[in-house]
Chain A
Amino acid sequence: MTTITPEATTTQVYHVFIRATPERIWNAITKPEFTEQYFHGVRMELRDGRRWSSLTDGRAWDEAIIEEDPPHRLVHEWLSGYDPELAAEEPSRVTWQIEPRGDGMCLLTVVHDRLEGAPKTAGSVAGEGWMFVLSNLKTFLETGRPLT
């Protein structure tokens, strides 16, 4: 068990550099056949102004898309539909930003904010929560298979 625990704040910012084009990263975060490989098995797709999430056990939920600018920027509501206790909290917001940084590399920035009304969600996604997803996404794009 780690002795270091990052603080669960109401604005959380995560960065990762990935060897991939903006288009490949965009597809990996918006196409269900990719998200299910690294995002805890959740299939996610963008349709009719909403982001639809589903798991093979039948759990499903959807969130409003606030901004969609492929392949650089996606902003959507966040509801923790995978967990009834977290799902009862107020919606928060997630921003994905993809910036090319030369050498075939991009900087992916995820901001999870407006978490004031969702303290349990804030605690659950903090630190390891988001960094597991982003580490897994990076490994998937760079090696062709997920981390675990």
Chain B
Amino acid sequence: MSAPAATASTYQVYQVFIRATPEAIWEAITDPRFTERYFYGTRMEVTAERRRVFSPEDPTMTGDDPVFEYDPPRRLVHGWRSKWNPEMAAEEPSRVTWEIEPRDDGTCLLTLVHDQLEGAPKTAEGVAGPGWMFVLSGLKTLLETGEPLA
């Protein structure tokens, strides 16, 4: 039996609590040495201007999207195009926001919003529910245990 599908809306919100500092989470989402261990093997290099994606294993996993907001270690906003799938890649770009909020108990709440998906219905469906939560679950496991989830 399959799980109920999450609605693929044009405004998707995902949250996870992580036992890590804001700085460690920021590094894990902007440094290619970390991203390749939980983000489908892709190396992501994020500067204040661009977010570049590259995979040593899979040449289709590439990307180069604009960074709209760069406020380490709290907030990152960048463009999103699903370059690994030709159908999705032909869709309009959407937007991803990462927000890191420290709590008093040594944990952080990481909130990810994927929105402006009106012109990218296939991407919206592709990333919905387990899509983004696989990435965020892997990020949490890597930061808390030092080992990748899968």
Contacts and interface: CB of A to CB of B under 8 A. Distances in A.
Given A3-B99, A4-B97, A138-B140, A15 B129 contact: yes
A4 B130 contact: no
Given A127-B13, A132-B17, A105 B3 contact: no
Interface stretch (B21-29, B50-58, B100-108): B100-108
Contacts of A15: 3, 6, 129-130, 133
A119 to B, nearest CB: 19
Given A2-B99, A4-B99, A107 B19 contact: no
Interface string B41-68: 0000000000000000000000000000
A58 to B, nearest CB: 26
B3 A148 contact: no
B10 interface: no
Interface size class of chain A, counting residues whose CB lies under 8 Å from the partner chain: 35 or more
A23 interface: no
B71 to A, nearest CB: 12
A92 to B, nearest CB: 15
B30 interface: no
A138 B138 CA distance: 11
Report whether over half of chain B's contact residues are helix, strand or loop; otherwise say mixed.
Answer: mixed
A13 B4 CA distance: 8
Contacts of A19: 141, 149
A103 to B, nearest CB: 5
A26 to B, nearest CB: 15
B102 to A, nearest CB: 11
Interface in B126-150: 129-130, 133-134, 137-138, 140-141, 144-145, 149-150
Contact of A97 (B3, B15, B105, B141): B3
Contact of A4 (B18, B111, B141): B111
A10 interface: no
B144 to A, nearest CB: 6
A16 B13 contact: no
Given A4-B113, A17-B149, A109 B16 contact: no
B107 A148 contact: yes
The 6 closest A-B pairs by CB, nearest first: A17-B137, A135-B17, A109-B3, A15-B133, A6-B13, A131-B15
24 contacts: A2-B99, A4-B13, A13-B4, A13-B7, A15-B3, A15-B129, A15-B130, A15-B133, A16-B137, A17-B138, A17-B149, A17-B150, A19-B149, A72-B1, A99-B3, A103-B150, A107-B3, A111-B4, A128-B15, A138-B137, A138-B141, A142-B145, A147-B19, A147-B107
Interface of B: 1-4, 6-7, 13, 15-19, 97, 99, 101, 105-107, 109, 111, 113, 129-130, 133-134, 137-138, 140-141, 144-145, 149-150
